[in-house]
A and B are shown apart, each in its own frame.
Chain A
Amino acid sequence: MNAAIETRGLGKHYGRVAALADLSLRVETGEVFGFLGPNGAGKTTTIRLLLGLLRPGTGSASVLGRPVRPGSAGWRADIGYLPGELALWPELTGGETLDHLARLAHARSTRRAELLERLAFDPADLGRRVSTYSDGMKQKLGIVQALETEPRLLLLDEPTKGLDPLVQQSFYALLAEARIRGTTVFFSSHVLTEVERVCDRVAMLRAGRLVALESVEAMRRAQRRRVTIALAAGADAGPLARFGSVTTQSGGRVELLVAARDVPELVVHLATIGFTDVTIEAPSLEDAFLERYR
């Protein structure tokens, strides 16, 4: 499979501060790739490096098979980009903004009406100046401009910021359709549930360094299960600690984190000591995220 994005040792320093260090990753064509990390982890810096808005301090990147060079331009023709801090020209109307950006992309909008409808954006509002728009409307306009020319690669920096839950659902559906059409999506977000729902693989950044790069499923599988046990009267909770780490214990109720491979043995042990209830929670991406950032 061809890589839509490939970075090798990519890094960027601002003075002594490393915004991004030694990032090597490969995003396959047609993949929906999640990019996670707390504020200042280097997500936006990575996206800006991939677009050639920043010059890398170290390493290199290629996008859609072409090396990223800030001075050159042709390789950006197939990219749709939504910035994390979307700024638009206040004196232009929504329609003029979309027309202007489509002209700059040398592309014709093929899906504007459909996208506006699905994002619950009243086409009549395109005649109003952007300065009168709410944040949510601006974000919808940003999504439309990124998607309307059907690019081969979407670079989306926190795309659901400011969208209400119903519109978020429509946006996820649009991404799912884009994936079916073979579009590659590189998606940074703080919202772990949406990444879990939408993405095939995720990378996690911490202080500019890659700390995890796996499929969402593998990350979940590798994550320890949260097991909550209500012990039978007189049962001894002490031996439970050898199956994992006990997070809370009060009365006969014990909560512990257990590696997937140890769960069957724990269940057998519980049968021998007696219990009234047991809950084994499927691990979430949020658990994985929190464990890596604590």
Chain B
Amino acid sequence: MIGALLRRQWRHHRASLAWLAFGMLVFEFLVTKLAPETTRMQSLLEMLPPAVLDTFGAELRATLSPSGFLAFGWIHPFALLMLGVWVVRVGAGSLAGEIGHGTMDLLAARPGARGSLVGAAALALWGGLAVLCLAGWSGIALGLRMRVLDGAGAGDLVEVVATCWLLFAAAGGLTLAISATRRSGSSATSYAAGLLSASFALDYVARAWEPLAWARPLSIFSYYAPQQIAARGAAAADVLALGVVVVAGTALAFLAFQWRDL
């Protein structure tokens, strides 16, 4: 049953997946073109006052290194938007979208368990994310074949890309949970887009405004810092937190969809 459902998902989303993957590839390729030379980054660092360097030196060096700059391409709003569009499109469209369109009646009246509908949606979502992340990484690999950036290799970005996938897999789990409880694709899209935007904004504001710093862990984006991952590797606690959200969101989607009226 899941195979048949995945085939339908592929048919439905393949064009948008192709466009989004193309966008990711071109964007990350352009990031390698726009990255400044290592010497320019070093001279930028040297221009900073010693007090600033003492406090933020490690973070700045991570950011202003070639791999740090390439990792910036994985927290840039364009890349986040591409991945977010996929998550919301597939997550909201698969369950709530089928209910709103009326086709869920035919699907849910077939012998397969309801859980297989959620499972197929999750696999399509995560698989598509993997394609997009791979396309972005391929853009970097292609760019670095055409331009040598001192000390930067596409392999350095694998962990960043994998964590980015995990971040959006978590966002996908939450979107599926929303989708499993709504009655139309547009409603699920609104809630999911709202949740992702709020989560992103919360991380941004809580970092900049001390009184709200306590709320930062509530945002899934707080567990994703690509430049630090490029410099020091992913923190196990962050990976664990995102993994928990993936599992919890997806489990919630399974449970809610299992018990609801269709």
Judge whether B59 is part of the interface by a CB distance below 8 angstroms. Answer: no
Identity of the chain B residue whose Cβ is nearest the Cβ of A90 in the assembled complex: B101
| Known contacts A54-B262, A89-B8, A103-B4, A73 near B106 by CB under 8 Å | no
**Do A100 and B7 touch (CB < 8 A)?**
yes
Judge whether B235 is part of the interface by a CB distance below 8 angstroms. Answer: no
In A107-151, which residues have CB < 8 Å from any B CB? Answer: 145
Contact of A73 among B7, B105, B113, B262 (CB under 8 A): B113
Q: Which of A76-84, A186-194, A232-240, A252-260 has 4 or more CB atoms under 8 Å from chain B? A: A76-84
In A153-201, which residues have CB < 8 Å from any B CB? Answer: none
Which residues of B lie under 8 Å from residue A87 when comparing CB positions? Answer: 101-103, 105-106
The A contact surface, by secondary structure, is loop
Contact of A105 among B105, B111, B114 (CB under 8 A): B111
Identity of the chain B residue whose Cβ is nearest the Cβ of A83 in the assembled complex: B105
Judge whether A59 is part of the interface by a CB distance below 8 angstroms. Answer: no
Judge whether A27 is part of the interface by a CB distance below 8 angstroms. Answer: no
**Do B106 and A72 touch (CB < 8 A)?**
no
| Known contacts A53-B105, A100-B7, A100-B8, A72 near B113 by CB under 8 Å | yes
The CA of A143 and the CA of B5, in the complex, are separated in Å by: 21
Contact of A91 among B12, B109, B110, B258 (CB under 8 A): B12
Judge whether B259 is part of the interface by a CB distance below 8 angstroms. Answer: yes
The smallest beta-carbon distance between B232 and chain A, in angstroms, is 45
Given A73-B111, A85-B102, A145-B106, 8 other A-B residues pairs in contact with their CB atoms under 8 A: A70-B258, A71-B114, A72-B113, A73-B114, A87-B106, A91-B11, A96-B11, A104-B111
Enumerate chain B interface residues (CB-CB to A < 8 A). 1, 3-5, 7-8, 11-12, 101-103, 105-114, 258-259, 261-262
Query: Can you list 29 A-B pairs with a CB-CB distance of less than 8 A?
Result: A51-B109, A52-B108, A53-B108, A54-B261, A55-B261, A71-B113, A71-B258, A71-B259, A73-B110, A73-B111, A74-B111, A76-B110, A81-B106, A81-B109, A83-B102, A83-B105, A83-B106, A85-B105, A86-B102, A89-B12, A91-B11, A92-B8, A100-B7, A101-B110, A103-B1, A103-B3, A103-B7, A104-B4, A104-B107
Closest 7 pairs (CB-CB, A-B)? A87-B102, A103-B4, A77-B111, A104-B110, A73-B113, A81-B109, A83-B105
